[in-house]
Every structure is written in C-alpha cells, then in structure tokens.
C-alpha cells in the first residue's frame, strides 16, 4: 500500500523491488525507496495510536514530518509545519486557499473529522474529509501522501473502531485508477453537491470492493489453493526449487509453522542432514524463522524467489491496483 501511495506521486519503484531491497542487509535507501519506507513507517505509527483519540493539528504535522523525512525530490523545506506561502497545484485548475487561512481551515476540517457520526454516515464523513484535506493543501509538498494517511487514521477511529476490526488501508482504492482518483477529487473542488456526491460514490465503491478482496484473503483454503500453491508449483516446474524443497514448502503451507521433525518424510536421513536441508531453505529465502523460536520455520512470502511470483499471481487474480499492473 505504501508503494501505491508513492506511485501516485510518480515513484516507479516496483512492489518486488521494495520488498527485496527492504529485506536486504546491505546498502542504504535511495530517495525513491526512502519515500516508501517513510509511508510504511508512518502507517505503523498510526497503528500504535489509540483509535479513539481525536485527530489534532499536532498529529497531522507529525504525520507530515515523518512522511517527508530525509527526502530530497519529494521532501518539504519545512517538515511538520503548515505552509507559509501560497502554492499552486500542477495540472490542476484548483487554487488552494491562502496560507493565511490554512490553520483555521484545518481547524474546521479537524472539527468535522472528529465529530461523532452514526455508522451509516461515517463513510461519507471520511470521503468528504479526504477531499477537503487535499483542497486545503496545508503543506508545501507531501499533501497527497499525508491525506491518504490521514484517511487511514480516520478509518481506524470510526468505522473500524466501532466494528472492532483492523482498519483497511485505503491506498489500493486511490491507486486502482490514478486518473479516475484525481478526476473524482477535482470534480469536487467547486464544493458543489454534484461533484461532492460523485467523489463520495467513487470513494465508497472503492472501499467496498477492496473489503471484498480482503475478506477473500482471510480464507486459508482460498489463499493456499489459489495463491500460494500455484506459485510453488511454478517454482518446481521451472527448476528453481527441488522436489524435496517443494514438498517441505507444501507441508509448511499446510501446517503454518514447522520444525525439523515435521519434514522427515521429504528430508529422510539423519537429523544433521535434515538440518542442512532446512538451513539451505533459510539461506535461499524460502523459509524464515517463526516467532515460536529459532527452530521453528514458516514459508518466506515477502522476499526471495516466492515473493516475485507471488506478486505476479496476485496481479493475475486481480488483487493489485491497476497502478501496479505488470509490477
């Protein structure tokens, strides 16, 4: 989702490159990767907040400071501070309000965002707040990224807080069709009822569609049979992994977490031989240590040979936003 948010702003780092480079133990982050890291870490920061706590000026400024930290191309000359200059938005007919009224405009927005609404009105509230944030354009740079994180924070404290579940990160909705997203936002810039309603419909439809995808991904049988097993089959077919390794991965997929004794059928022989086979799986980023302890293992899905094909499989099944097509 962090890649999606950065891609909307013109960052062309692919999902797999981000996963691979973030998992590397060597090297430093360039500006493009740092932008993605900042968004991801800021989302984690939001996850640690009390979802019932009100959204404040200081929180919005903190989100901005974290999002643009140490960036050059997509940085801001005053991280964590509202703009003190008038600005224009590239390729947009909307002129943001003067910097003089940014603080009072943001006060009104935060009052609106924090207002208690019945559940059936909360999606409208969030959609309107997202548009108004971009409309105000409170920072010199980083407004799009921060607006999407702000929307994530709103989802946590409203709909998902009252339902007792984890919040849906809305980046996929915004990135599924960048042009449609920008067009829908701009259509509401005149603050007319027609434009605002069209934007709300775009936002709510996207959230609903993405929720259906996420519900499907919580079905272990579906994920196993339609997503991961085809990836493992293709790796074995292409000779990337051996038949024995494919068998070990299949067992790990079925059980979730395995230890050496669980793999005796595919790695026969002495315990030492089995340990060497498992060590090879770890070194090749096919297995990784599990939280249960150093001798417990699970499939490594986020890096190594599985990750690249997993991203392609997700794309085949329609889970990647269109902005990430062919990643």
Q: What is the largest CA-CA distance in the chain?
A: 75
pLDDT at 167: 59
pLDDT at 27: 57
Query: Catalytic residue among 70, 103, 137, 220, which?
Result: 137
Question: What structural domains does the chain harbor?
Answer: 2-216 (1.10.3290.10), 220-310 (1.10.10.10)
pLDDT at 239: 95
* Chain length of the chain: 327
HSE-up of 297 (CA within 13 Å, CB side)?
26
pLDDT at 162: 57
Mean pLDDT of the chain: 90
Looking at residues 161-183, what average pLDDT do you find? 72
Looking at residues 129-139, what average pLDDT do you find? 97
Residue 325 has pLDDT above 90, yes or no: no
Concerning whether 103 is annotated as a catalytic residue, the answer is no
**Structure-derived torsion over alpha carbons of residues 74, 14, 21, 172, reported in degrees to the nearest 10:** 80
Considering only CA atoms, which of 61, 45, 38 is closest in space to residue 138? 61
Residue 166 has pLDDT above 70, yes or no: no
pLDDT at 173: 72
Q: Tokens representing 10? A: 């013109």
Q: Where are the alpha helices (DSSP H) in the chain?
A: 2-8, 15-22, 31-47, 57-68, 102-114, 119-136, 143-157, 159-163, 171-175, 178-187, 193-216, 220-222, 229-237, 243-255, 271-283, 305-316
Interval 32-63: pLDDT, tens? 999 999 999 999 999 899 988 999 999 999 99
Interhelix angle 31-47/15-22, rounded to 10 degrees, is 80
């Amino acid at each position: 989702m962090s890649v999606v948010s950065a891609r909307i702003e013109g960052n062309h780092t692919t999902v797999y490159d981000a996963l691979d480079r973030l998992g590397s133990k060597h090297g430093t982050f360039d500006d493009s990767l740092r932008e993605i890291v900042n968004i991801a870490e800021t989302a984690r920061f939001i996850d640690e907040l009390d979802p019932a706590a009100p959204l404040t000026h200081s929180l919005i400024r903190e989100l901005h400071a974290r999002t643009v930290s140490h960036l050059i191309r997509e940085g801001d000359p005053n991280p964590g501070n509202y703009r003190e200059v008038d600005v224009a938005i590239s390729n947009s007919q909307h002129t943001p309000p003067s910097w003089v009224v940014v603080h009072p405009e943001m006060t009104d927005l935060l009052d609106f965002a924090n207002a208690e609404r019945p559940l059936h009105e909360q999606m409208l509230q969030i959609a309107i707040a997202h548009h108004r944030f971009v409309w105000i354009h409170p920072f010199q740079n980083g407004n799009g990224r921060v607006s999407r994180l702000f929307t994530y924070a709103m989802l946590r404290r409203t709909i998902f807080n009252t339902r007792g579940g984890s919040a849906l990160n809305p980046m996929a909705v915004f990135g599924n069709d960048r042009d449609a997203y920008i067009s829908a936002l701009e259509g509401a810039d005149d603050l007319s009822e027609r434009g605002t309603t069209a934007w709300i419909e775009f936002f709510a439809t996207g959230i609903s569609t993405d929720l259906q995808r996420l519900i499907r991904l919580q079905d272990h049988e579906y994920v196993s049979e339609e997503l991961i097993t085809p990836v493992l089959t293709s790796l074995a077919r292409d000779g990337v992994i051996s038949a024995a390794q494919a068998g070990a991965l299949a067992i790990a997929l079925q059980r979730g977490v395995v230890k050496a004794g669980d793999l005796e059928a595919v790695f026969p022989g002495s315990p030492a031989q089995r340990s060497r086979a498992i060590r090879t799986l770890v070194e090749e980023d096919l297995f990784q240590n599990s939280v249960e302890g150093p001798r417990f293992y699970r499939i490594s899905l986020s890096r190594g040979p599985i990750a690249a094909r997993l991203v392609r499989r997700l794309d085949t099944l329609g889970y990647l936003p269109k902005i990430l097509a062919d990643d």
